[in-house]
Amino acid sequence: MLNSTAAPLKRSTVERQTNTYILCLFGVLLFLTLFTFIANLVWTSWNEKKMWYLQENVDIRSDLRRLLDFITCLILYNTIIPISLPVMLEVVRFIQALYINWDLDMYDPDSDTPAMARTSNLNEELGQVRYLFSDKTGTLTRNVMEFKRCSIGGIMYGNSTEDSNALEDQNLINKLNDGDLLVDQFFTILAVCHTVVPERNVSENNTNDYNVAVFGNDNLNNEQLINYQASSPDEAALVKAACTMGYVFTTRTPTEVVVKIRGVEKRYGILHVLDFTSFRKRMGVVVREPNGRISVMVKGAVRVFLCIFFFY
């Protein structure tokens, strides 16, 4: 506490300019007061005998009389200083802060968080902004990943339109219902090959960046809430996509993961995890499937897999 320094007083550009203008006007006031005072002395000395009816009060000393004349001139020009200007600026800032708090364009419905003007002294600084420098994705943009399209066995599901969603593609749903092997393997990999950690019975207002809440899924009993804690939004999006198609990742332990596939619980033993690196551009897990077969599940950048396929 002894080494801490007091927080500096924040002043806006308008406030600094206003103070400068008031100081300039105060200088003008002093100049006019001195000019008028000196002019009064000169005029009085020239016309004192002619204006015999303006005789000065002999009971007041000469120096005190001059001081009263100076104060009189100062009062004469005091309206040059805008005394009400700082008060009106504070009133305007207060009203601006209210409008900021009420602005629906700055309201976040997801977290039910409105804008909050913590100080009204810097409102006008918002109008002085010319450039914005952002350090990373997520500062000025929403860092949200959504599962839009996928290619399974050379067949593309979902189209290129903005509102397209592969999980609503009827061809994909039909193949999933028919027990297509490639589709089953695809969503099994999405539900198993990751480092996501599920959490149950947590608050819905969790503020983690990569939380995915799954409500009312037919594969979850009594509309349970699962929050997927992921290291990146793409992993959370892939796990959520698998969950939507009935491959619900429910439990993770150091040695296995539990996936409920269309109502049937299956346990996959985790033998080894090949973590994602920027050099490999892919991650993988060595798992023991419920039937005892050992498999390697891998996901990563498309270019990496094309190079591997071309090499072999």
- Beta 197-200 vs 226-229: how paired, if at all? antiparallel
pLDDT per residue, tens digit, the chain (312 aa), is 566 677 777 777 888 888 899 999 999 999 999 999 999 888 888 877 777 666 665 556 677 888 888 999 999 998 898 888 888 988 998 999 999 999 999 898 888 899 988 888 778 888 888 887 777 666 666 677 888 888 888 888 887 666 667 788 888 888 888 888 999 999 999 999 998 998 875 544 443 433 444 433 444 443 357 888 888 888 889 999 999 888 999 999 989 999 998 888 999 999 999 888 888 888 889 999 999 999 999 888 877 777 776 665
- How far apart are alpha carbons 191 and 186 in whole angstroms? 9
Strands in 247-252's sheet, in edge-to-edge order, are: 247-252, 256-261, 264-274, 282-288, 294-300
State the pLDDT at residue 300.
84
DSSP SS3 for 130? coil
Cα Rg for the chain, rounded, in angstroms? 38
- How far apart are alpha carbons 73 and 35 in whole angstroms? 9
- How far apart are alpha carbons 111 and 205 in whole angstroms? 7
Please calculate the CA angle 281-172-264 and round it to the nearest 5 degrees: 85
Best CA proximity match to 143, nearest among 250, 45, 235: 235
Dihedral through CA 71, CA 74, CA 76, CA 82, nearest 10?
-140
Answer yes or no: 178 catalytic. no
Locate 11 and state its tokens: 């002043």
Domains of the chain, residue spans: 13-80, 84-123, 155-311
Dihedral through CA 228, CA 230, CA 233, CA 236, nearest 10?
-40
Contact 188, 245 (CB under 8 A): no
- How far apart are alpha carbons 237 and 234 in whole angstroms? 5
Locate 259 and state its tokens: 């996936």
pLDDT in tens, 226-236: 888 888 888 88
State the pLDDT at residue 36.
93
Q: Looking at 59, 110, 112, 135, which residue is catalytic?
A: 135
Residue spans of beta strands (DSSP E) within 146-263: 150-152, 155-157, 197-200, 213-214, 226-229, 247-252, 256-261
**Reported pTM:** 0.54
